[in-house]
Structure formats: structure tokens, C-alpha cells
Amino acid sequence: MRVAEVVASTLAAHGVSCLFGVLGDGNLPILDVLVRTHGADYVAAAREDGAVLMADGYARTSGRLGVATVTHGPALTNAVTALTEAARARTPLLLVAADTPPGDRRNPQAIDQEDVVRPTGAGVQHVHSAESAAADTVRAVRRAFTERRPIVLNVPTPLLGLAAGTADAGTFREDRTPAPPPSAEEVARVAEALARAERPVIVAGRGAAHARDDLAVLAERTGALLATTLKAKGFFAGDPFDVGVCGGFATALGRELIRGSDLILAVGAGLNSFTVDGGRMLAGDPVIVHNDVRAAAFDEWVPADLRILGDAGALARMLAATAEPRTGWRTPEIERRIAEYAYEDEFPDASDETGLDPHTVVAALERIVPRERTLVVEGGHAALSEPCRGLSVPDPSAFVFPVNFGSIGLGLASAIGAATARPDRVTLAVTGDGALMMNLAELDTAVRLGLRLVVVVMNDAAFGYEYHNMLHRGMDVGLSLIPRPDFAAVARAFGARGVTVATPGELDDLKTLIADPSGPVLVDARLTRNVRTRWFAEHENGLDPADPDFRPRYR
């Protein structure tokens, strides 16, 4: 077999049945074999960054290896921001990239591709020779999983047509062996701290993904509330004492209760500044117990009183076996308050003649979009914080947050990958008007695939975060105001269904349209700029929701 066939066959042997890409002369020999011989589904993206973001969204939602492919030179440089996002999200992803012939200085696309990739945080695995092609491909797959980051499989084009080596390189299968349990002495110290606690809270991150049931049992026995980091959103969905996300994107009720805790047991969670909301979530001066499988995670952000190295599930079982039953937070009154909480009750609607209150849009989406959903949240003033607070998901795999690099413009392509991975449920992507303009071409990809995708554009005809920031600083906001096209008409031109909404009454009319699974829907939600999101009011203005001067609306 030729090298192109070996690379494709090795990927197929590792279960690669779907990949995203942009075709070029360097990668087409591999892609042709994957599709024609091995029956892989190929999604043609509009741009290379979109292809990598689709593979990223696919991997985050499915738990499988995300795979993208591009040709060489500018194709790879186009993917740099997407690679950085995936690397910071620690997504196992493989980018199969062609490379120009070594030493070919006449080729205008020649570039040192490893130098391009290195700053993104992704890794590079070279196909060194025809003889090592299979082994190098297996090594790239293994590295993607074990290093938990994207790996660029760099394939020089002169190798593609050469006869490959015949040695069996085998296949890699991810080892999910649990980490060792914590020591009995460490568990005893945590048990003593829990015995003294009257209002404990368990905060789970993605590192505790396998331990949900064990943590729920422990929480019930010790009277603890359950909360998550943002990236583990939905982890305890359905538990009557789940208060949702801990940190800057907490609900008003979750914030109140967590800030009243006297012990926080963080499991598989980084305790970064977002999770503790710059320290605001620690207002009750709680004892902090931090459990992780990596010693390097301890004290990276917040000093812990107790540091427990070992498997989260084992820790929860060991504690539950010895802990005395406590009521703690688990009273009928707290259960009632959690059950009755509704995001839409936090603020009265402040929509006006210029457009919709973004809080009102989020509250309507929570009501009308089916609960079995995948949620993709974009960066920006109105598209980021309130969807994170007000929109629920059934489990963490249903929440895709492509904001790890702090970039906007990554949401639509990520949503296409997520919708491809989970066609059984609706994918809701919330984006801003400025962000959508950066990757609008990928709407064509969604239409071609006929995806069950709802794109909601939080449209304030501005770069919203910059608008409110400049207004707060007394600057000329005119620099941030950018009139946009009629997004609903643009969507229809692409072949999607498009609708514009500008009043609260029009929002509930969307229910029938959103419930129809026949292809993508774009909702152009026209917003008023007279409302700050709650997150902006808190963090940029330094106001606390308990402060009588706190208002999301300008007065």
C-alpha cells in the first residue's frame, strides 16, 4: 500500500468514521481513501479554522477522537486560533495536515509548520518516512488521547505515493483505568472536617466525570449541596439539591447558597478565578478541601486547607462509608427554593422600543427549546454570561464552551461539529452579531448537512462588550457601533430558515419553528443596548447583587 492508503487505513482502524476538512492537493489522497474505501463521512467546511472547530465540537460532545484535515501552508495558518482553543480545552483531536516537500523554496506555501503549531499548545507528530507511516499515525492518535490535546499529523507530500512499510503498527486503545484511591489518613482528615461542617457544598469539575453517583450519595449523607464548574455544567442535573454552576456564572440562588457554605469539597475541579468568582464565592470563609489526581492542581489558584490526592469516586465512597448522617443544607425549605427557582424571575423584563432585554431572550429560550439539547455558548457581552446562567443542559457533554482562548467567532463551527455528533437532539448555538460575522460562511455547511441546529444571534448592532465598556469609561461608543445585515434574510439566502424578533411577544411564537427538525433555523434577536447583562454589571462596575444600587438596566 501507498503511504496515503496506510495513513487512511490506520485512522479507520482507530474508529475514525467522520472527519471535517477543507480539501487541497496535499490532503486529498488520504481523504479519498478514507471516504471511498473505508466509508468515512466527510464534512467539507468553508474554512480550515471551521473544520478544526467542528472536530473540536464533535469530540467534546461525543467523547470520541475529533479529526480534521487540511492541506499545507496557509491552510494550516488559517487553523491556528481553532487549534489554540482546542488545546486550551484539552480536547483529544487529530489534525491531518499535508506539508510541502522539504527544501522546496520555490513553493509559495512552504513554511515551517512545526513552528506554526508550537505556540498554539498543540503537538506535532511527523510522518518521518514511508516505512514509519503507520507507526507515526498510531503514535499521533495515542498522543492525542494521552496528552489530552490536538496533535497535528504532519505528512510531507512526497511520501504520499511511496510504498509504505509492511510492519504491523497495531492500534491504540485509551486506557481508562481509575487513578489510585487516596490514603486512609487523608480521608480521615476530610471526614473530621465534614463532621464539623453544617453547610457543606460539593463542587465537581470534569475530572470527576466518572464519580457522579458516588458524589451524590456522599452529598445526601453529609447534607451537602451539589454544584459544578462551568465546564461540568449539567453534571448533577435532576438532583433536587443541585444548585448549578459555582462561580461567576452562578444563578442568584446558587450564588447565595454557596457563599453561605462553611466547607467546599472540590473534586476534579481547578478552583480557578472563574469557579470562585475572584473569591466572591468564598465569602463565608469556608474550609476548602481539594481533591485531584494531579498534585500540580493543588494551590494553583486557591490555597486549600486539605489536599487529597487520588480518585474522586474512591474518595466519595470512603467518606460515605464512615460519615455520620447530617441534615446540613438538605431541609424542605432549601429543596423548595431550589425547585421553585426560575431564571426569568431574577430580573423584570427591561425590553424597550429599541429592542429586547438579553435576559428575556435567554429566559424564553429556556422555555421553548427542548430540554434534551446541546448548548453552544459563544463569547461576547450578551451571548456569553446569561446563556451560561439561564440555559440548562442534560449533562456535561451537552455543553460546548469554545471560549478557552477568549476569542469570539468560534461558536457556529463548534455547534456544527456538536450537532453532527448528536443528531438525536437539537443543538442551540447562542452567538453575537459581531461573532457571527466572523464565521457566517459556515452556515452554508450547516444547511448542506441539514442539521437540527438553532442559531440565536444576540444582535445589538455593536461589539456589545466594548460598547458597554466604553460607556462605563466615558469613551466615544460610536467606535463600537456597526450596523449589521438582515441576518434572517442572509440565512434564507443560504437555504436556512430565518426569522427576526424584536419584542417579548414574538419570542414564544418561535416554539413551533424551533421544534421542526427540518434543517437549521437562525433567530435574529434584536437587542436594546440600554441593558447591561448581570455579569457585566457585577464584574466591570464592581457591584454586588445585594447592593441596592445594583441594576442591570441603565437609569
Domain boundaries, the chain: 3-159, 184-340, 343-538
Question: Per-residue pLDDT averaged across 157-166, rounded?
Answer: 92
DSSP class per residue in 423-466: TTSEEEEEEEHHHHHHSTTHHHHHHHHT--EEEEEEE-SB-HHH
Closest to 345 (Cα-Cα) out of 375, 329, 367:
367
Question: Per-residue pLDDT averaged across 364-374, rounded?
Answer: 96
Average pLDDT over the chain reads 93
pLDDT of 553 over the 70 cut: no
pLDDT of 275 over the 50 cut: yes
Question: Per-residue pLDDT averaged across 383-396, rounded?
Answer: 94
- Compare 274 and 340 and report the one with higher pLDDT: 340
The pLDDT tens digits of the residues spanning 251-266 come to 999 999 999 999 999 9
Closest to 534 (Cα-Cα) out of 251, 254, 259, 279:
251
Question: Is the Cβ–Cβ distance between 260 and 271 less than 8 Å?
Answer: no
Question: Per-residue pLDDT averaged across 222-228, rounded?
Answer: 98
Q: Measured at the alpha carbon of residue 509, what is the angle toward residues 506 and 514, in degrees to the nearest 5?
A: 120
Total residues found in the chain within this entry: 555
With a pLDDT cut of 90, the percent of the chain lying above it is: 85
Question: Per-residue pLDDT averaged across 436-462, rounded?
Answer: 97
Confidence of residue 344 (pLDDT cuts 50, 70, 90): very high
The pLDDT tens digits of the residues spanning 170-221 come to 888 877 777 899 999 999 999 999 999 999 999 999 999 999 999 999 999 9
pLDDT of residue 555: 33
pLDDT of 528 over the 50 cut: yes
User: Which ranges of 197-327 does DSSP label H, i.e. alpha helix?
Assistant: 212-222, 252-259, 312-322
Shared fold status for 3-159 and 184-340: yes
Residue bearing cell 468560534 = 410
Question: Per-residue pLDDT averaged across 70-82, rounded?
Answer: 98
pLDDT of 552 over the 70 cut: no
Question: Per-residue pLDDT averaged across 270-298, rounded?
Answer: 92
Residue 505 to residue 446: CA distance in whole angstroms: 28
Residue 257 to residue 271: CA distance in whole angstroms: 18
Residue 106 to residue 127: CA distance in whole angstroms: 22
Residue 303 to residue 289: CA distance in whole angstroms: 9
From the centroid of its chain, how far is CA 359?
Answer: 21
pLDDT of 50 over the 70 cut: yes
Is 2.40.50.100 the CATH classification of the domain at 343-538? no
Long-range contacts of 34-43 (CB under 8 A, 24+ apart): 34/8, 37/5, 37/8, 37/9, 37/12, 38/8, 38/9, 38/12, 40/12, 40/16, 41/17, 42/18, 43/18, 43/19, 43/416, 43/420, 43/445, 43/449
Half-sphere exposure of 308 (CA within 13 A, CB side): 31
Question: Per-residue pLDDT averaged across 529-549, rounded?
Answer: 66
pLDDT of 159 over the 70 cut: yes
pLDDT of 73 over the 90 cut: yes
Residue 428 to residue 412: CA distance in whole angstroms: 10
Confidence of residue 351 (pLDDT cuts 50, 70, 90): very high
pLDDT of residue 261: 97
- Compare 478 and 472 and report the one with higher pLDDT: 478
The pLDDT tens digits of the residues spanning 411-421 come to 999 999 999 99
pLDDT of residue 540: 60
> Of 14-18, 186-190, 458-462, 539-543, where does mean pLDDT reach its minimum?
539-543
Domain 184-340, architecture per CATH: 3-Layer(aba) Sandwich (3.40)
- Compare 452 and 546 and report the one with higher pLDDT: 452
pLDDT of 270 over the 90 cut: no
Residue bearing cell 424551533 = 514
Helix, strand or coil for residue 399?
A: strand
Written out in words, the top-level CATH class of the domain with range 3-159 is alpha beta
Residue 213 to residue 234: CA distance in whole angstroms: 14
From the centroid of its chain, how far is CA 355?
Answer: 29
Instruction: Name 499's bridge partners.
Output: 523
Contacts of 461 (CB under 8 A, 6+ apart): 433, 481, 482, 483, 484
- The strands making up 373-377's β-sheet, listed across from edge to edge, are 399-400, 373-377, 426-432, 453-459, 521-526, 497-501
Question: Per-residue pLDDT averaged across 446-460, rounded?
Answer: 97
3-state secondary structure 204-226: ECHHHHHHHHHHHHHHHHHCCEE
pLDDT of residue 228: 98
